[in-house]
Structure 1
Amino acid sequence: MYWTVHLEGGPRRVNHAAVVVGDKIYSFGGYCTGENYRRRRPMDVHVLNTANFRWCALPLPKHYDPHISCVPYQRYGHTAVAYGDKIYIWGGRNDEAACNILFCFDTNTLQWSCPNVSGMVPGARDGHSACIISGCMYVFGGFEEEIDRFSQDVHVLNFRTMHWSYVCTLGEPPSYRDFHSATALGDRMYIFGGRGDQNGPFHSQEEIYCSDIMYLDTITGRWCRPATYGDIPIGRRSHSASLQYRQHVVIISCYNGLYDEHYNDLYRFSPVRNEWQLVKPLGKVPSKRRRQSCLVVGDKVFLFGGTSPYSGQNLHSLEELDDNHGEGLDAKLMDHNDLHILDFRPTLHTLCLLIVINNHLDQRLLSPIVRWEIRAMTTNNSISRPLNNTG
C-alpha cells in the first residue's frame, strides 16, 4: 500500500456524505466553519473525476423554497447510498433541525426528486449509518432529534417497493450510538465504533467508545459479536470504513473524546479470520482527522475533507490563518479541502511516476501521456471557498 497523491483545493467540507457511481465520486453537503447553517439553502454537490482527480461543483438552483423544493437543504451528519445510477440522501441536520425526508439524485440528469415512500418512516436523526444489502437500505443508530436520544434500532427501506420497515432483531444489539460506521459484506452489516453514553440512550456527556465489531445477519435478523484478535483498534467515532478489494473492512482516521485525540491510523479487519491488523502504508500519511469521507474505487482509496486540530503541519499559510478571523482557532480545529489517494496495489508504472515527482526529475523526454499523469497527480484543484465564507 502506498499513499500516492495529495492535492489541495477541493471542497472544504466536514461531516459530508459521499458515494461512488461509475468512475465518479459524488459528495453531498457537509459544513465548513464560518458558514451559516441556520438558513435553509440548497445542498451543494461536488463531483470528483477519479481518472484525473479534478473536482467540479454542480450549479445550485437559482430559486429555492425548502418547503416545496425536492432539493435537500444544506446539512451535515446525513448518509448517501447508491442504488443503480441513483443516489439516495437520508437524514442529517442543520443548526435548527434534523430531517427524515428521502431525496434522490439522478446521476444521469443531475436532477433531484423526492420519491414517494410508505411504511414506518424512521424518526429524523443525524450521525446514523446506512448501507445497501440485497436492494435494501439498512439504517442503524444515530441521534434522534424528536426524542432527544441515541438509537440502536435498525430500519430498512426496500428500493423495489419504496417501503420502510422497522427490523425486529434477535440477540444483543450494538449499544446506543452515533457517528459509527456500517459496512455491507454479503448479507451482513458490520457495525464498528461510534460514540455512546454511560446512560444508554440519553446524552449525559459521559461518553463511551466501544472497540468491538458486530454484524447483523440480514437473513436471520440476528446480531452477532464475533470474538476478535490481533491489533484491535481503540474505540473511536467519526472514522471512515470501506470494503477493500480483498473483502477486508478498512478503518481510517478517527477521534476519541475520552482522550481528546485525533488519529490517522489504518486498520484492516478480516471477516473470515475475525482478525484486526494495523497497516502502515508507505508515502505521506494524511494528517490526523475526523469526519472525512473515504471511498474505494478499484484498488484505490480516495480520502477527502474532514477536520483536524491546528498544528504547524496543517497550517498551509499564514494568510489562510489570517483569513479565518480566528473562527477555527476558537474551535481549535481546521477544516480540510484536501484529497489523498491510497493505492492498495501500486504498479511499477505508478512507483516510477512517484520517483519522478518526489525527486523533481526532468520530464522533457517523457511521453505526453506520462506528463499528463504527472500533472494530474501534482496540480491542485481550485474550487475551495474561502475559510471566512459566512454563507
Structure 2
Amino acid sequence: MKCEWTTFKTLGELPLGRSSHSTVVIGRKAYIFGGENIPRVPISNIIHCLDMDTCTWSELTTTGDVPAPRNAHTATAVGHVMYVFGGRTGINMGEGSFNELYAFDTSNNVWTLLKPSGVAPTPRSFHAMTVIGNRLFVFGGCGEEGRLNDLHSYDIEANTWQKEPINKDIDGRGGAGLIAIGNDVFVVAGFAGREMSDVHKYDTVSKTWSKLTTDKALPPRSVFGITSVSTFIIVWFGEVDPSDKGHLGAGGFSKDGYVMDVSCKTGWELIKCTGETPEERGWMHIAPGNLNGKDGVFVFGGNNINNERLNDSHFLSIKL
C-alpha cells in the first residue's frame, strides 16, 4: 500500500477551527458541517464548502429544513446527497441530543428533514454511520441511558428505519469506527470507559455478529478517522489516552495510520507514507474522495494535543 499526504493551501475565508464536526466529499467538493470550537458548544449550522480544484472555501446559502446547530453528529454521502443523523447541543451525555435524520442535496443546497417509518435510533451523540448501497447503518454512541451498542439501518428508497440484532458482547461505546466492506459492517475500537481495540463484524445478509481475532491488535483508540479500500480497513489519528477531564479536554493523540486486511488474520500493520503527515489529532472524520486522479481521504480540523481546535485541510492518497 502506497500512501502520500498533501496539505492544502487554501483561499477564501477559513472555517473556524473545530472538532466533533462532520466531513463528506461529494464530487470535487468537501463539505464541513457543525462541530465545536469551545467544548460541547455547537458552532453554527452553516455548511462550509472547499472546492478541491481551486482550493477555495465558501459558505453555502442553504434553504429548506435547516437543522439546528449541533456537534457530535455523523454524516455520510450517497450520490449527491449528504445524510446527517443525531448529535447534540448540550454538555452532558444525552442532554439536548437528536435522533432526526436530514438530507442535504448538494445539487441545489436544500435541506430536507426526513420522516421515516419504522423504529428509529434513540437520540444520541458520538455515534458512527456508514453506508452499503442505499442503506445507512448507525451504531452506538452516547444516549440518555449511557453508552450504546445498538445497530440500526435506514433504507433510503423505502424511507424506513429498522432495528438490527444487538451483539451483547460489544461494550456500549462512543467514538467508534464503523465501516462497510462488501455486505459486512465492521465496528472498530471506540471509548467504553476506556479506549478499545476490538473489531466486530456484522453480516447484513445473515444478520449475524462475529468478533475478529487477529495476530496483531490495533493500539486502543477512539474518535479517529476510518475508511476502507478493497478488503482493507484503514484508520488514522484518534485519541489514544483517555483525558482526565472525561473527554472535555485533550487526552493523548495519534498521528499514525494502521491497516488491516479483513480477509486474513494477520491483523493491524503500521502504515508508512510519504509527504508531511499532519500533526496528532482526534475528534474528526476522514472522508473518501479523489484528488488529481488519485483516490484517498480528506481530513479537516480536529482537536490536537494542546486542546486546540484545528482548521487545516489535508488529503491522503491511497494506492494498493
TM-score, with structure 1 as normaliser: 0.71
1:90 corresponding residue in structure 2: 85
Aligned residues: 299
Within-5 A mapping of 1:1-391? 1-7=3-9, 10-11=14-15, 12-33=17-38, 37=42, 43-59=45-61, 70-95=65-90, 97-145=96-144, 147=145, 149-169=146-166, 172-196=168-192, 207-230=193-216, 232-244=217-229, 246-258=230-242, 260-274=251-265, 275-298=267-290, 299-310=295-306, 333-345=307-319
Instruction: Report if aligned partners of 1:7, 1:340 keep a CA contact under 8 Å in 2.
Output: no
Contact 1:42 1:71 in 2 (8 A): no
| 3-state SS of 2:235 partner | strand
Measure how far apart 1:100 and its partner are: 0.9
Flag the 1:282–1:134 CA change in 2: closer, same or farther, 3 A. closer
- CA apart distance, 1:35: 9.5
TM-superposed deviation, 1:138:
1.0
Under a length normalisation based on structure 2, what TM-score does the superposition of the two structures give? 0.86
Tell me which stretches of 4 or more aligned residues in structure 1 moved more than 4 Å. Answer: none
Contact 2:62–2:110, Cα closer than 8 Å, also in 1: no
Percent identical among aligned pairs is 26
* Letter of the structure 1 residue corresponding to residue 163 of structure 2: Y
Amino acid at match of 2:130: C
Letter in 2 for 1:249: I
Which segment drifts farther, 295-304 or 174-183?
295-304
| Counterpart AA for 2:256 | D
Distance 1:27 1:173 in 2: 34
* Matches of 2:126 and 2:59, distance apart in 1: 25
Q: CA deviation at 1:266?
A: 0.6
Q: What letter matches 2:60 in structure 1?
A: L
The residue identity in structure 2 corresponding to 1:251 is V
Q: How far apart, CA to CA, are the structure 2 residues paired with 1:35 and 1:277?
A: 34
Structure (1 or 2) with the larger CA radius of gyration: 1
Gaps of 5+ in 1: 62-68, 197-206, 311-332, 347-391
Partner-residue secondary structure (3-state), 2:222: coil
Let me know the Cα RMSD of the aligned residues: 2.3
